Every structure is written in C-alpha cells, then in structure tokens.
A and B are shown apart, each in its own frame.
Chain A
Amino acid sequence: MKQNRWCIAGVFWFSLLLGCTNRQFPRTEDSTLSVPPAVLLPSAAATDAQTLHFLQDRIKADPDDFIAQNKLAAWHLQRVRETGDLASLEIAMKAALASLATLPAEHNTGALTLLAQAEFTAHDFIASRKHAERLIELEPGKGYPFEILGDALLEIGEYERAETAFREFEQSGGIQGLTRVAIEQRMSRLALLRGDEETAERRMLKALKTALSLPVPPRETVAWCRWQLGELAFGVGNYTAAEKHYRAALTTVPGYFRALASLGRVRAARGDLPDAIAQYEHATDIIPDPSFVAALGDLYKRVGRDDDAEKQYKLFEAIGKISVYSRQQALFYADHDRQPQEAYSIAMKDYSVRKDIYGADTLAWTALKAGRLTEAQAAIEEALRLGTKDAKLFFHAGEIARAVGDEASALSYFKRAAALNPEFDPLQATIMKKSFLKSNDGVAEVAHRDWAH
C-alpha cells in the first residue's frame, strides 16, 4: 500500500510540472550548443596600473585636467564593474564632479555621462535619470543618452518610458558594434521582465555573438553576456545549461565574481552543497557582496554549520547598512524573519523612489513579515503586473495568498514556482516546499520526498 502511494505521488508531482501552463522550458538542455565556445580573453590588468598612474600624475600636476579626470572616472567605473569594489565608485564620482567643476556639462558631456553612470551604480536612479535627460538636451540625435535614461527608468519601474528610450537608443545608435551589444542586452532584459524568456534568451545570445564579433571582444562584456545566459537558463530551471554558461563566463574571465556566485547557486540547486559552498566562498573572497554573503550563510545553515552561518549573517548586517544595498538588507531581514518592522521600513523607503517590480516584491514580502497583509497583497499585485516569470515572485505571491487564507491561489503560485525553477534559492526554495506541503495536506509527505528531483 505504501509503495502504491509513492507511485501515485510521483504521478501527481509530475502532473503538477506538466500542468503548469506557464512552464516554458528552454528549448533543450543542450541549448548551449548554439552558443559560441568560450575562450580566455586577454586581460589588460598589466597595463591598467600604468594607465592609472599616468592619469593620477596628470591630475596631480594639474587638478583642472578634466580629460584626465574623465578618464580616471571611466577607469574606476570599469573597475567597479569588474570587481564590484565600491571604493572605486566613490573615486569615479569625485573625478566626474571635479571634471564638471572645471568645465561645465554644456561643454563636457563626457563628464556628465560618467556622473550619470556613477549615480546609476550608486542607486541614485533619480539623479541618473535627470542627468540622462540633460544629456539628451545637450546631444540631440545621439543614442547613448537614451541608453542611460532607459537604464535609470527601468530601475525605477517606468517600464513603458524605458522601452521608449531603448527604442530611441536603437534607432539612433544602432550602427556601431558595441552599441548593438548594449541594445540587445537591454531588449533581452525587457523581454525577461515581460515574461518572454525565449526572446530574452535570443537577444542575449545575439548580444554575445555581436560582442564576440568585435575587433577586440570586450572580455567583461562577453563574460557578462554568458553569465546572463546562465541566469536566464537558471530562471527556467535548466540547471545544466545554466552551469555551462557560468563556466563559460569563468573561462572567459577567470574569477568573474558574478559567475562564481551563480555557479554556487546552481550547484546548490543540483544538490552539490559542498561545491556550492566552495564557489560562494571563492566569490565572497573576491567581493563580499551582501547577496553572496547571505547565500553562503544559508548554505552553511543547510549543512549544519550554524556558527559559520551566523558569522556570515553578521557580516551581512555590517555590509548591508551601505545604502546601495538597502533592498538586499530588507530582503535579508524578511527572508530570515529578522527585524520585520525595520525591513518593512527600508522597503517602503526604497519603494518611495524606486517603483520597479522587484521593489514592489520587496515591499510585499516585508509587509507580509510585518503583518501588513493588505499592503502585501497590493504590492505583490504590482510586482506581478508585467507578467514576469520568476519563481521567487511566485513564491512570495503564494505565501501572501496563504496568509490571507486563499489556499487555491497559494497552491497555484507554488505550482508555478515549482514548475518554473524549483530550486530558485538555497533557503527560500526549502521554505516553499514546506509551504507547498501545507497547501497539499493529502500528499504532503510524498510530495516532499519528490521535490528535490
């Protein structure tokens, strides 16, 4: 009899997966076959230091050397991108401002561009938007200001305007190769937000191929595209393909911290917790990004290393206080059932200026944990407004539905999340399983056993 129940449960779970209308498997597990093979791209690290010294010397000799200031800002912004080191962001910002103090924006659009990009990186999206709009005034007919504008609008949730800006960027700036890479990347992101994973993947692949076709393929850009392809594959539960993409990114740029952390996540999703931990440890050694630190703590927790987990959580608390990480801080508190009111306050503040769907999701999740169910319901509705297919969004929606007693909706959301990306997060996916079980009393035990596969 017990064996028969196992069999029934297996069929039930399989039917859940198949029955989810939103399930969009990547074309095949071997979809990476169409992706150009990864090769190591040369680093400019050896000469980067010389370039930095050259620029520093010039500024030392003449602080009004705005060209050197602009180049210094660009140098540091690229460093932030490649290493995640926020100390460089501060230097870049200062250099851009110093340049503008010497020569105003009307005559120095380069510095204004750098400032807008630094503001974007510092999560001051309103300022970035304002300066992008100024660049559009100063450089009519140019495409790149629309790129900056669209990026800022996307982060503050003005999706229609962002798409219009990207279309303008595409129309006015689509000739040069690297511009086309940037366009494809943005169109991919828009498609993903709208729940069209196939277009997202196709356009990101186009971005990668275009980047690789450039006279000198920009290594970090190539690695970024590969990492993004991995993220797209991971988002639809294709862990094999995701891992291939992440490893390809690491072949392109060894030690690429984004790919390392994502590799850790997919290794966890595939059940290899020791390797997942190793990858996250490597990533956090390079840059203790709060999201990496929290994930590492969660993995330690899962393998019973509670003390190590707590150390990571403390580290997170220390780093997470930096304003640029406010959203992560709110999510961390909510994910770990800590300081619910504080999490909610942070999320509210963040959402007051940044009304993107993930801001709404953070607000919804923290509101739930703070016992504000009505607000949570309204916010999660906002978070789902674009039709984004993201297991974490569905999980949060399910939890909120369950909290208000709507078991049918909760079940529906959990099914969607499970069908899409059952191991979306080392900690939260486990919690979702438990929630799912609560919503399926009759098959609780067997579904639990079946989940991991």
Chain B
Amino acid sequence: MFHSCSRKMAAAALVVMAGIAICTLPARHMKAADHAEATGVAGDPGADIADVFAFLDPNDNSKVVLALDVEGFIVPSELLNLSFFSPDVTYRFEIENTGDARPDASLEVTFSPQTSRSAPQTATIRFFEGHEHHPSFQFTAPTTVQTLNGTPNPFVVTTDPNTDVSFFAGLTDDPFYFDIVGFNRFVSSVLAGSPDPTQLQRARDSFAGYNIHMIALRVPAFMLRGHSANAVIGVNGVTLRKKVTVRRDDGRKDEDEDDSKGKLVQVDRMATPAVNTALIPFPRKNEYNSATPVDDAAGRFAADIVATLTALGTNSTNIGILASVAVTKGDYLRLNLNTTNTSVGAGEKVTTPGYTGFPNGRRPGDDTIDTLLYFISNQTLLSGDNVNSNDVPLGGSFPFFAPPQQPRATGVIDDNTRN
C-alpha cells in the first residue's frame, strides 16, 4: 500500500532537483509459477507522517490545535479495512517554547489494539513537561469508528474535564491539495531552461478523494507556552516504535521475546512541509528523519538545504527566510500565540491580505505549496499550481478537518481531482 511519506514527497515535486519519491509501497509479493515467494513489505505507513498542523483555534484563540496525519491515499472503500492506528507506534508532538531548538514539552498519543472494526480503539494521551518521565497529566479517549455507509459517522471528540484538552483520532478527508504532476513538469521545464507555465494548468488535486489517519488535539495555549514569556512555540511531529532485538539462528534469543519492552526509536519526524523531501538530498533523507531539531540548528543539514535552493535559483534573501523557518532554530512549525487567527485557511496563502497562516504554524487549509513556491521563486510566482483549495470544505469546529470521503454509489464517477 501507499507509504504516507508520499505527502512530503508530493510537496517536493516543485523542486525536482531535490526530487520526490511517491513511496507507493505494495504490501506483498505475488504468486509466481515455480517458486514459493514470500510475502513482502516495504515501508512503515503507520508511522510515516504525512503532515503536521499547528494553529490557533479560530473559534477560541486561547487554544492551540495540534494535528498530524499518517498513512494516506486511502480509497473510500478501503476506509473500514484500514481504519486503525498502529498500537505499537507512539505519536508525539514535541513542543519548544524557549526559543531554542530543544523541545521543552511533549504530548504523546498511543493506541490500544483494534479488537473489532465496529469498536473504537482507546487512545492514551500523555503530557510531559521538560524531560520528566512521568506525565503531568493523562487521559484516555476513543477513536472514531468508520462506516461504509454513504454518510460518515460523526467525529468523536473527547474533552478531558481536568485539563480542557480535547482529542480526536480517526479517518478524515486528506486536507492536502496539490498537483504533483503539473508541478513536476513545470519545474522540469524550468530546469531545462524553457519554463512552461502551461504545465500548471492541469489543476488536478493529486490528493482529492482520498482519506488519511488524523490525530488532533486542542490544548489550552498556556500549557504549551509553559513558563516562558515567549509568544512563539515550535511544534515537531515525531513517530516512534519500540526497537526489537533481532533474534539470531544461534538461539541467543527466544523466538517469543517480548517486543513491548524495547527502547523507543524515532521512525519519522516532520514540521515544515517539504523540508526533508524537497531540500534534503536522497542519501540523507533517512538520516534527516531520525535526526532532531537540535541537529538542524547545529547546521547538520544546512549546507544541503542551501545548495538545493541555490540550484533552484533562490536568492540569498529568500534562502534566509526559508532557513529561518527550518534551520536556524531547528525544523519546527513556529506558531505565534499572539497572532489572532480567524480561519482554518481555506485556500489562503502568503499573498492573501491579512494572511496569518503558514509559515506561522500551519492551518489545514493553507496553500503551503503556493507559499513555498513563492519564496523559492524569489517571490515572483504568484499563481502557484492552480489547485487552490481542498476538494471538500473543511470543518467549522474542532478538529476542523473534513469528514472522510465515503464510497460512492456504483456508477458515480469521482472527479473531485479537478477543482
């Protein structure tokens, strides 16, 4: 099935030199004629972060909405079979609130195993301050169960009465929008020395019609601000798995060893969209995924990022702008808690009057691709990829994402890809 890093990869289409890789990773091998080929697997979709969001609740700016999604490109008819969160993955939001690259708090979400497709999983939400090993608070909440009916089940939102923290986890419509193919062709034409803007006229949303696994929290802002007077917080999405000991054939390890006791290993991270996939060269992408914002701030990947942007013709001013987002203090989504927010974005981008979105945090509807392209093109390319909003309307209240796309009746053709 699809590797959800395809999201990040998709964003990278606008910078072909850095390359994108749509990691469509099929689950297993096939029957052949005379050899008993084993089943196969590639990738780790349940732990591969597609996007991270951080924005002030437009209905109540005293609260911050944090969200990350994994394992996208779920066809509506697949939503029941794939409607579970991996119980062996830890989903973590790292929060930085002192202006450096080191995280100062974290929110972790884990899930119980799915026992039935008609029963919710139980999520456990824990908040850690500093480097404490014991959570400041924790609570549990159910996930939203999916259905194949024409109308989706309503989102199940749980609010912890002790902390006023709200939680949602379930499938939603994939909020990202972007024409991967059009952009790839356009950028190819640029690199070939003959820019062809007509390639951007396809205006097909490569993500329309698909669903994705979404985890969202609404947290009182003061909790994330911590003891700091700093108005800006950083948010970094991380997934971790427990490392297992590889058993050898010499019998040193029991075949039924308890994997649950393993040390947590970082599988993926994401904050600013497209940094890894667009700006980090192929040989270092995995290294980047397992690194930290502290590594970023120490300049571990700075030369690669600058080199990629330079190759794309980005000037030093705009390289500086992008570097300030993802390099100088580590790759965090930086959100100013004092900047009023009144919307979820809905097609807004950096050139929109009164814009308060990405790279100030990231709202579900922000046109991040157009914004990134604006800076990469030295603030000259204004029209972007002509995919200007999500294919379905976003929600008006927490979690603010659109309900999952349900299977269509036989004969009803999906053509939401064209906006």
Chain A residues with a Cβ under 8 A of chain B:
44, 47-48, 50-51, 53-55, 57-58, 60-62, 64-67, 70-71, 73-74, 77-78, 80-84, 89, 99, 102-103, 106-111, 113-114, 117-118, 120-123, 137-145, 147-148, 151, 155, 170-171, 174-182, 185-189, 191, 196, 199, 202-203, 205-206, 209, 215-216, 218, 220-221, 224, 228, 231, 258, 289-291, 324-325, 327-328, 358
Known: A65-B417, A81-B28. A176 touches B21 (CB 8 A): no
Most interface-central of A118, A216, A327 (chain B CB within 10 A)? A216
Q: Which residue in A54, A148, A176 is a CB contact (below 8 Å) of B40?
A: A148
Q: Which of B137-145, B240-248, B387-395 contacts A (4 or more CB under 8 A)?
A: B240-248
Measured CB to CB, the closest approach of chain A to B260, in angstroms, equals 11
Residues of B within 8 A of A120 (CB): 29-30, 32, 37
Contact assessment for B2 and A205 in the assembled complex, using a CB-CB cutoff below 8 Å: no
Q: Main secondary structure on chain B at its contact with chain A?
A: loop
Known: A81-B28, A177-B88, A205-B255. A220 touches B22 (CB 8 A): no
Contact assessment for A180 and B36 in the assembled complex, using a CB-CB cutoff below 8 Å: no
Contact assessment for A142 and B40 in the assembled complex, using a CB-CB cutoff below 8 Å: no
Going nearest first, the 7 A-B pairs with the smallest beta carbon separation are: A110-B24, A144-B42, A141-B286, A50-B77, A185-B38, A70-B24, A81-B30
Residues of A within 8 A of B418 (CB): 61
Interface size on B, residues (CB 8 A): 81
Contact assessment for A151 and B29 in the assembled complex, using a CB-CB cutoff below 8 Å: yes
Interface residues of B in 17-43 (CB under 8 A from A): 19-43
Residues of A within 8 A of B299 (CB): none
Interface residues of B in 361-419 (CB under 8 A from A): 407-408, 410, 413-415, 417-418
Contact assessment for A218 and B88 in the assembled complex, using a CB-CB cutoff below 8 Å: no
Is B206 an interface residue when CB atoms closer than 8 A count as contact? yes
Measured CB to CB, the closest approach of chain A to B419, in angstroms, equals 13
Task: For the complex, give the distance between the alpha carbons of A151 and B209 in Å.
Answer: 35
Residues of B within 8 A of A62 (CB): 204, 417
Known: A117-B40, A140-B283. A206 touches B22 (CB 8 A): no
Is B265 an interface residue when CB atoms closer than 8 A count as contact? yes
Task: For the complex, give the distance between the alpha carbons of A84 and B34 in Å.
Answer: 12
Closest to A199 in B: B249
Closest to A135 in B: B42
Is B114 an interface residue when CB atoms closer than 8 A count as contact? yes
Contact assessment for A155 and B35 in the assembled complex, using a CB-CB cutoff below 8 Å: yes
Known: A144-B42, A216-B114. A121 touches B21 (CB 8 A): no
Name 6 A/B residue pairs within 8 A (Cβ), A-sorted: A54-B408, A61-B417, A70-B22, A110-B24, A209-B256, A215-B114
Contact assessment for A170 and B113 in the assembled complex, using a CB-CB cutoff below 8 Å: no
Is B180 an interface residue when CB atoms closer than 8 A count as contact? yes
Is B323 an interface residue when CB atoms closer than 8 A count as contact? no
Contact assessment for A181 and B33 in the assembled complex, using a CB-CB cutoff below 8 Å: no
Contact assessment for B40 and A107 in the assembled complex, using a CB-CB cutoff below 8 Å: no
Closest to A47 in B: B77
